[in-house]
Structures are given as C-alpha cells and as structure tokens.
Amino acid sequence: MDCAFLVIGAVIGSGIFLTPGGIARTTGSVGAIFFVWVLGGLLSYCGALAYAELGAAFPKAGGIYIFLREAYGRTTAFLYGWCVFFVMVTGSIATLASAFAIYLGYLVPLSPWTLKALAVGVILGLTAINCLGVRSAAWVQNVLTVIKIGSLIGIAVVLFSSGKGSFQHFHALPGPAAVVPWSAIGIAMIAVLWAYDGWHLLTFAAGEVRNPGRNLTGGLLLGMLVVIALYLTVNVAYLYILPFPALSGSTRVASDALEQAIGSTGGTLVAVAILISITGAMNSNILGGPRVYYAMAREGLFFKSAAHVSPRFHVPTISIILNGIWACFLVCVGSFEQLFSYVIFVSWIFYALGSAAVIVLRRKKPELTRPYKVWGYPWVPVAFILIAAAIVLNTVVNDFKNSFWGLLVVCTGLPAYFWWTRPRSTAKNI
C-alpha cells in the first residue's frame, strides 16, 4: 500500500482544486470538460502501464533516467536528468508551492512576498524531513495521502448532499465537445495533465521498493485508478453546484463550490484540506526527484557530492538539499501558470521517450527479465507516444513562448553534458 499511497499522494496536489475553471474557460463546453479529464486519465494510465514494465525490469534508483539510459544511451538520459533538476521535479515543487500560497491567501490576507516566504518554508521543512530517511518521508506521505483522499471524498459528499446544486448545469451551456477546436482541447489538456502529473515518481525510488515486480507495478496501477475515479467524481460535484459561467470564472473552484454549498465555513475547511493535499504532493516530488541526481552523480554526470548517501539515514542528502534550494528559487521567480506550463511541456517530451523505451528495449534486450509486461503491447505504449507527441506539438504551435523556454532548458543540457564527459585529464567532478 505504501507504493499506491506514494502514487496517489504524488498525483493529487493542486490541479484538481485550481485548474477546472481554466479548463472550462478554454474549452467552453461541458462535454469537452469531461472529455479532457477522461482522456488525460486514460493517457496517464497508459503511461503507468508502460512504466510499470520498465520499473519492474530496472528496480534501481533513478526511474526514467535509468530507462532512457538503457534504451537510448547516456546523452538522452542526462538531458532528462538535467531537465528534472531545472524544470520538471523542482518546477513541480515550485508550482505546488505557488498553489500553496494562493490557497493560504484565501485563509490569511498576507502580502505576496510573505506568502512566497511561507511557501519556501514548507519546501525547506519537507526537505529536512526527507533528509531523515525514507521511512520518515513515507510515514508523512501516507498520513497526508489519507487526508487528501478523505478530503476529495468529503468535498463530493458535501456538494451532492447540500441540496443547492442542479443537474441542469450539465445541459444548460454550451455545446458538445465535437464543436470545440482541437487546439483548445490540446491547451486544456496541459492543465489536465498537470493535475494527473506525478504518476511516474514511484519509479524514481524503485531501488528502495521491496519486491518491485509486485509492489511497484501494483502501486502504479492501483494508484492511478483511484485518482481517475476521484477526479471524475469531484468534477461532477463541482458542476452540480456551480453553473457553467460560475465554474469558468473561478480560480479557486473547490472553495467557491463549498462556499456555495454550505457558506464561508465550507470554503475555509476546503482551503485547509487543499493546503494539506499540496503539501503531500510536494513531499512526493522531494522524495522522488533527488534519486535521479543521485543516479547521475554515481555515473559522473552530475556534481560528485550529489552521490553522497547519509551513513545514518541511508538517503542522498546532498541531492535532496540541492533539489530543495533550486525549488525555492523557482518559487521566488515564477507564477503558478508559467511554472506548470514549463513543467508539463518538457515532462511530456521525456514521458513519450520513456514509453517508447518499452518498445526499444523489447527489441534491444529481449533476454531481459520482465516480472511484468505491459498490457496491450505494443498498442498501449504506441497510443501513449502518439498522443503525447500531439500534445507537445500543439503546445509549440499555440503556446510558443512557454514551449520556447522549456526547449531552451533542454538545449542547455548539451554543453553541460559535454563538460561532464570530457576527458578526465582535463575535467574533474565537483
């Protein structure tokens, strides 16, 4: 259950509480809202199926970094690890921390910089907990995950039982998903995929999972099914309470819906639950991401000190600290919308490559022991690759500014890779 809790805790963060309003504005259609949530869930589940095979075959710390290295070589793996550090995991932590500040501002009227300082404090606190060992981090994760699952179920129950909603909201406005431009569907998918993001984090800590053939694969699949069910239920509850115009105009959908249902107390309670949920998602990223830097450092492709493992707590403490410091920096310089756009665009380039690694390694290493094989091979990984590629291309066309900065981060990894791999006689690891 620890593995499933890590997946659920990593996925459920701020997205389900903050993005539904933006998705409604982008699509302009009730049908399209549920179309993108179902499509995003199925896509993420297909990714989990593919990564379950890879994680069981390579139960080592580093997750996708290891998969890409085995399939394509060190250069591709390094670029992934580079982006994990500068954008993907630290950016996810920073985005969650920004969302933390948004909802804390709902409870306490503080200045923007004070809210950012408190968000930074949460990152530093979770970083310290993770430095105390996997058991401490996992215990915190399990407690927070139970609370966030209970919160989502509680939100749905309260909204449906309030008697202040109407199922007419599902029919009043506007048209079916078929009339929505595909470009709008693609942009909305960015927000949906941010809400589902984090399903892969369990593979980062695969080297520390007992019996990965059963626990890692089972955790990935069970965790994603629970998240999809919760997300769809809560979206139905939101629209039951909020008419489409109110939903599309909301930036804090969960709080607005609870206020509509039971008054200001409901908004306050859900804001507290959301802060706990966001904290749990941050903890998952802080637990998983540093294992990538650790794997890179062991191969001489990152700062040598990042390979240090605490002899007392048996965790890569330097990697965890570096991860926390850079995430704090990103909190101070970026907004919520900017950060999740960067994270999702870059992430899905590598998620597609990771899924393709299933096919590459089936051909490259047919003798490899695979305790689990992806269901529906090769159609499931192929479908994942094609849809992921379409999302990336759509983002480049319709949101070039954010995609440009994401691509720039990827490209800056090339000179860094050549620096770390130049002859040992002229280069030393720091």
Is residue 344 a contact partner of residue 197, using CB atoms and an 8 Å limit? yes
CA-based end-to-end distance of the chain = 39
Q: Could you give all domains of the chain from N- to C-terminal order, each with its CATH number?
A: 2-421 (1.20.1740.10)
Q: List, in order, residues 6 or more apart from 129 with CB less than 8 Å away.
A: 136, 137, 140, 283
With vertex at residue 152, the alpha carbon angle to CA 149 and CA 154, rounded to the nearest 5 degrees, is 105
Residue that wins the pLDDT comparison between 138 and 170: 170
- What is the rounded CA–CA span in Å between residue 54 and residue 373? 9
Query: What digits encode the pLDDT tens for the residues 55-98?
Result: 888 887 678 899 999 999 999 999 999 999 998 889 889 888 88
- What is the rounded CA–CA span in Å between residue 353 and residue 26? 28
* Percent above pLDDT 70 for the chain: 91
Query: What digits encode the pLDDT tens for the residues 189-222?
Result: 888 988 898 787 777 665 556 676 677 777 778 8
pLDDT value at position 341? 67
- What is the rounded CA–CA span in Å between residue 170 and residue 111? 38
Q: Whose CA is closest to 134, among 45, 39, 71, 209?
A: 209
- What is the rounded CA–CA span in Å between residue 266 and residue 260? 8
**pLDDT class of 424 with cuts at 50, 70, 90:** low
Which residue reads 């580093």 in tokens? Answer: 62
Residue 19 phi, psi dihedral angles, 5° rounding: -85, -20
Q: Where are the alpha helices (DSSP H) in 243-316?
A: 244-248, 253-262, 264-288, 290-298
Is residue 58 a contact partner of residue 66, using CB atoms and an 8 Å limit? yes
pLDDT value at position 426? 46
Residue 375 phi, psi dihedral angles, 5° rounding: -65, 140
Query: What digits encode the pLDDT tens for the residues 87-130?
Result: 888 988 988 888 888 778 778 888 888 888 888 999 999 999 99
Q: Whose CA is closest to 189, among 336, 387, 10, 397?
A: 387
Lowest pLDDT segment from 45-49, 348-352, 364-368: 45-49
Is residue 18 a contact partner of residue 251, using CB atoms and an 8 Å limit? yes
User: DSSP assignment, residue 85?
Assistant: I
**pLDDT class of 425 with cuts at 50, 70, 90:** low
**pLDDT > 90? residue 229:** yes
- If DSSP codes are grouped into helix, strand and coil, which group holds residue 301? coil
**pLDDT class of 428 with cuts at 50, 70, 90:** very low
Most confident of 133-137, 290-294, 339-343: 290-294
**pLDDT class of 328 with cuts at 50, 70, 90:** very high
- What is the rounded CA–CA span in Å between residue 13 and residue 17? 8
- What is the rounded CA–CA span in Å between residue 230 and residue 63? 26
Tokens standing for residue 13: 């963060």
Tokens standing for residue 69: 């290295």
- What is the rounded CA–CA span in Å between residue 247 and residue 245? 5
pLDDT value at position 98? 83
Residue 216: burial class (beta carbons within 10 Å; 0-12, 13-18, 19+): buried
**pLDDT class of 10 with cuts at 50, 70, 90:** confident
What mean pLDDT, rounded, does the chain reach?
A: 85
